[in-house]
Structures are given as C-alpha cells and as structure tokens.
Amino acid sequence: MLVWTRPGKALTWIAFAVVFGVLVLAPFVVVIAAAFAGTWNGVLPSNPTAGHLQEALSGDELASLSVSLQTAFLGGLLAVAFGTWGALAAHGSRFGRVADALHHLPIAVPSVVVGLGLLVAFSRQPILLNGTKWIVVIAHLVLMVAFSYGTVAAALQRVDPSYADVAASLGASPARVLWQVRLPMLRPAIASAAGLSVALSMGEVGATIMVYPASWRTVPVSIFALSDRGQTFTAAAEALVLLTATVLVVFTVDRLRGRAVEQ
Amino acid sequence: MVPPLLLIAVLVVYPLALVAVESAPAWGDVLGSVEFREALIRTVQIAVCSTIGCLVVGTFLAVVISFVPFPGARVVASLVDTMLALPSFLVALSFTFIYGTAGILRTGGFLTTPWAVVLAEITFYTPFVMRPLLAAMSRLPRAQLDVAASLGAGPWRVLRQVVLPEVRPAMVAGGSLTLLLTLNEFGIVLFLGAKGTTTLPMLVHTKGIVMFDYPAACAIAVVQIVLSLGLYALLRKALGGRRARLD
C-alpha cells in the first residue's frame, strides 16, 4: 500500500524487526532470560538455573507476592467500585467537568507526589494510618480510581441512554434501572477497568515506596531492594514472578469480559 | 454524586493541599539550591528527548504495521497493547544486563548517564504513542494512498503529504500524553539510580524518605504539581473538546 517494490518491502521489514526487537521487545526478553541465568558475562546468559526462581518464591519474597495480590485486589476492586460510581454520578451532571478533573488529578501528578501527600496527611490527627497496610491500599485505590473512572466514563458516552429511559418509563425504579439496565451495559468496561487496575496496581512503585511500612512490602518494592543490593538475578526472577502473576490475573478478568460481550 | 467526590476530596485534594501548606518554610532553601535547579532542568531535558524519540520510533513502527503489513503484524499490535499495563522499572532492570559492567554490551559508563534514562523511557513509552496512531491509521482509507501512488507519488511523498497530515491529531495526543508521563516518571530513574540523573520525582523521594526533610520534599512536589498540571491543562485545551485520555 505504501511500499510497492519487493526489495523496498524487505528493507522496511528488516528495519522494523531491528527497531522493534532491540528497542521494545529486548528488555522484556532479557529480564526473563536473566531470571534463569546463573551468570551473564557475555552476549548470552550461562549456567542455567532455577535457583533464583526458587528464592523469588520463598520466604520474604513469597510474602511480598501475597501482599501485592491482596493490595491489588482490595485497592483495585474498591477503585473500580468508586470509579464506576463516580462516572455514573458525573455523567450528565452539572458538576461533570469538575468531577472529571478531580478524578484525573492522581494520574496527572507523579505517583511519588501522591504518596508524599498521603504520608503527610495521614501521619497526623484526625486520621492516623502511617505504618499500617491501609496507607498502601489507599495509595493504590487513589491511583486506580482515576483509571477506572476514565474507562467507565468513556464507555458511558458510547452507551445509548434510551434503554435506561425506556426501562424507567415502563415503571422500573431508579435502583432497578441501575442494576438491571445501566450496570449490565457497562459490564465490559467495568471488567476491563478491573483488569487494568489490578495490573497497574501489581506494578506500582512510586507511591508505594513513599508510604509502605516494613510489614507490608509489595513485589516491586522487593525487586527494587534486591536490585539495589546487587542481587540482580534474583530481582529478575521476582520480576518474572510479578509478570506471570499479572498476566494470569488479567487473563482471568479478561475472560469475564469476553463472556459479557457474548451475552 | 457525593460519596465518590468526598473520597477524592479526602484522599487526594486534602493531602495535596497539606503538601502545599507544609512546603512553606522550605521555599527559600529549595529555590536557591543548585541541586533543585539541576533536577528541574534534567527532568525537562529527559522528558523532551524521550518524547521526541518516542514520536520518531512510534510513528515508524505504526506506519509499518498499518501500511506495509506483514504476517503477524496484528500480533505485534496486540503485544504493544499489553505492554501498556506492564511496570516501567522492568526496562531499567533489563538495562543492567544489557548495558551493565558484566552484560551483553558492557558499556558500564552508559548506565550512569541521562541517556540511559532517555533510552529506557523511549522503550517503555513508545507503545503510548503507537496506540492512538494505530487507531488513527486504521481509519484512513487505503484508497487515498493507492490513488496518490498511482498518480506517481513515491512512498516518502505519500507518507509526508497524505498519511502524516491525517494522523497529526493522534501524534499530538500521543506526544503530549508521553511528555506528561515522562515528566512524572519515577520507576525507571529509581532503578537506574545514577547520581547524575536526579529528576524532580526522584528528588521528592530522596528528600522525603531518605533524608526525612518533609518541607523540602513538599516544596519540590509543589513545583512538580504546577509543572504537571500546567501541562495537563494545556493538553486538554490543545485536544479541544475531546477528553485528554490518560488511560
């Protein structure tokens, strides 16, 4: 369509493969390879081992995985609930623009600043949360609310409002319209917001590193601690664990979404 | 309407307002310090270079996927979508193995330069430019390209005079989003951890967590908030009535 000659096409594809392979794909492949490498002193890793992966799945590191999963599910699901609620309330409201701007605030500023804010605000009366796991959950909740709100608000603009109007005109109460018409129509968007929230929460590092107590250390914080101590191979193995857990969770949530579309 | 907004008010607006209040005693020291000014300049430099890099690489990749398609191009496009949800520090971690002292390329010195941060950010944020571009390019009628070519325009001319003008809004949208995200980027800078590449978010972390100097951290955070929100407001305005989607 754009390049017509055979050598021209071949040249374009080679350039594409090099740029995409080296720049975009290589880093992820390298982390996975390093997770299984005993040493890496040349172009290719050597002394393949599963030892690092075992370390990444035992003791403190395994506890981190559990902490990350709990934080992601608790923070992520609360975020989806409040994000959906916010988007439904803002839709067609006079304060829609204000709500829009406020909900996007946490992702327009750096996550480190969001973390600093929570640290400053909740280390004092009236709400003392510093040193508990709740400050981490709240940090994740705040960041993921923004993403959930955005996803659901975008879907709301595409949904035909006449279904809800018809249901109401046929005598359905507002609560029934919400539960049986509006929310089911938003189900794909809510499911994809949930998948995105959980995935982003599993990898969140900026706000978490500002607020986490020693007793509630997420996987990204553990990976940073390992990498900072020079244990880069174990760090890579734990990154692989994080990637696998994230993909599994997102895949499961995505299946819910797939079924919703088929209905 | 009230409960979700109350949640945002208590968990976002109140903390950010407190940050502004707490910053008061530190303004003189922070604004006068060389460390702060260097970090500010470094942050903007890294963000601008990374964004330009992402635009160049992202446009090239999107053009090939859309208009010089190959078997598996759709797989690549969906791979790009997946990468948006991955954490950025993975890229920085992999650089230890690629460019580290005992790695594939053994360019030990490179890792400590700002260019390592720029390269890592280009790697991570290129998909953010590609996604809107791929969407815009899929809406562009193929016949337009064919007609231009049949009238004798070469690939470069078709690209410059037919494709790029059509996808300009998508480039502006993707580019400004990337600029905002790279200004705010923390994970990559933290993991590369080079002394010469302190950015504002990194300085907020160092002052707040390592040195326990909350007022200074708050003052730097306020500068960062003004910078980010200013850009974000500009972004929403530049994109007209359309929402500046961050997600």
Q: Angle CA(A82)–CA(A222)–CA(B123) in degrees, nearest 5?
A: 75
CB contact under 8 A, B243 and A100: yes
Residue B127 in contact with partner chain A when CB distance is under 8 A: yes
Could you tell me which residues are beta bridge partners of residue A128? A123
pLDDT over threshold 60, residue A159 = yes
Its pTM stands at 0.88
Determine, yes or no, domain membership for B8: no
Determine, yes or no, domain membership for B7: no
Task: Quick: pLDDT tens for A52-65.
Answer: 888 878 788 888 89
With a CB-CB cutoff of 8 Å, which residues 80-119 of chain A face chain B?
Answer: 82-83, 85-86, 89-90, 93, 95, 99-100, 102-114, 116-119
For residue A80, the chain B residue with the least C-alpha distance is: B4
User: Which residues span the domain enclosing B211?
Assistant: 35-238
How far is residue A129's CA from residue A77's CA, in Å, rounded to a whole number?
A: 20
Residue B44 CB neighbour total at 10 angstroms: 16
Least trusted range by pLDDT, from A66-70, A179-183, A248-252, B55-59: A248-252
DSSP B33-67: -HHHHHHHHHHHHHHHHHHHHHHHHHHHHHHHHHH
| Chain A partners within 8 Å of B201 (Cβ) | 110, 112-113, 206
Name the pLDDT band for A222 (thresholds 50, 70, 90): very high
Residue B237 in contact with partner chain A when CB distance is under 8 A: no
Helix (H) or strand (E) holding A50: none
CB contact under 8 A, B90 and A138: no
- Is residue A117 within 8 A of residue A135, CB to CB? The reply is no
| Chain A partners within 8 Å of B149 (Cβ) | 2, 4
| Chain B partners within 8 Å of A147 (Cβ) | 246-247
Name the pLDDT band for B208 (thresholds 50, 70, 90): confident
How far is residue A49's CA from residue A39's CA, in Å, rounded to a whole number?
A: 9
What is the model's pLDDT at position A56?
77
What is the model's pLDDT at position B245?
47
Task: Quick: pLDDT tens for B102-127.
Answer: 667 766 678 778 899 999 999 999 99
- Count of alpha carbons within 13 Å of B47, Cβ hemisphere only? 25
Averaged confidence pLDDT in chain A: 86
How far is residue A228's CA from residue B246's CA, in Å, rounded to a whole number?
A: 31
Q: Which ranges of A109-218 does DSSP label H, i.e. alpha helix?
A: 111-121, 133-158, 162-169, 174-177, 183-185, 187-203, 206-211
- Count of alpha carbons within 13 Å of A188, Cβ hemisphere only? 12
Residue owning tokens 């979508």: B81
Name the pLDDT band for A262 (thresholds 50, 70, 90): very low
- Is residue B196 within 8 A of residue B118, CB to CB? The reply is no
Residue B110 in contact with partner chain A when CB distance is under 8 A: no
What is the model's pLDDT at position A257?
67
What is the model's pLDDT at position A218?
93
pLDDT over threshold 90, residue A142 = yes
Residue A183 CB neighbour total at 10 angstroms: 13
Task: Quick: pLDDT tens for A83-93.
Answer: 999 998 888 77
pLDDT over threshold 90, residue A209 = yes
Determine, yes or no, domain membership for B120: yes
Which of the listed ranges A40-49, A99-108, A198-207 does the model predict with the highest average pLDDT? A198-207
Determine, yes or no, domain membership for B197: yes
Residue A254 CB neighbour total at 10 angstroms: 13
Q: Is A115 helix (H, G, I), strand (E, B) or coil?
A: helix
Task: Quick: pLDDT tens for B214-241.
Answer: 889 999 999 999 998 888 777 767 665 4
| Chain A partners within 8 Å of B104 (Cβ) | 30, 40, 42-43
Task: Quick: pLDDT tens for B51-92.
Answer: 999 999 999 999 999 988 888 888 888 888 788 888 999 999
What angle separates helix A111-121 from helix B214-238, to the nearest 10 degrees? 130
Tokens (6 digits) for B220: 């730097």
Burial B72-106 (b: 16+ CB within 10 A, else e): eeeebbeebeebbbbbbbbbbbbbbbbbbeebbee
How far is residue A68's CA from residue A76's CA, in Å, rounded to a whole number?
A: 11
With a CB-CB cutoff of 8 Å, which residues 191-220 of chain A face chain B?
Answer: 195-196, 199-200, 202-206, 209-210, 220
CA-based Rg of chain B, rounded to a whole angstrom?
Answer: 21
CATH label of the domain that carries residue B39: 1.10.3720.10
For residue A40, the chain B residue with the least C-alpha distance is: B103
Which of the listed ranges A32-36, A102-106, A229-233, B185-189 does the model predict with the highest average pLDDT? B185-189
Cβ-nearest to B68 among A12, A34, A86: A12
The stretch A244-257 carries a mean pLDDT of 81
Q: Is B105 helix (H, G, I), strand (E, B) or coil?
A: coil
Name the pLDDT band for B247 (thresholds 50, 70, 90): very low
How far is residue B170's CA from residue B149's CA, in Å, rounded to a whole number?
A: 24
Task: Quick: pLDDT tens for B153-187.
Answer: 888 888 888 889 889 888 988 898 899 999 999 99
B23 secondary structure, DSSP code:
T
Q: Angle CA(B113)–CA(A241)–CA(A229) in degrees, nearest 5?
A: 45
Domain count of the fold of chain B: 1
- Is residue A189 within 8 A of residue A254, CB to CB? The reply is no
- Is residue A169 within 8 A of residue A200, CB to CB? The reply is no
pLDDT over threshold 80, residue A38 = no
- Is residue B137 within 8 A of residue B163, CB to CB? The reply is yes
For residue A108, with 0-12 CB atoms within 10 Å meaning exposed, 13-18 middle and 19 or more buried, which class applies? Answer: buried
Determine, yes or no, domain membership for B19: no
Determine, yes or no, domain membership for B62: yes
Determine, yes or no, domain membership for B170: yes
What is the model's pLDDT at position A259?
59
The ipTM, to two decimals, is 0.86
What is the model's pLDDT at position B43?
92
| % residues pLDDT > 90 (chain A) | 32
Determine, yes or no, domain membership for B215: yes
- Is residue A149 within 8 A of residue A232, CB to CB? The reply is no
Cβ-nearest to B186 among A2, A24, A206: A206
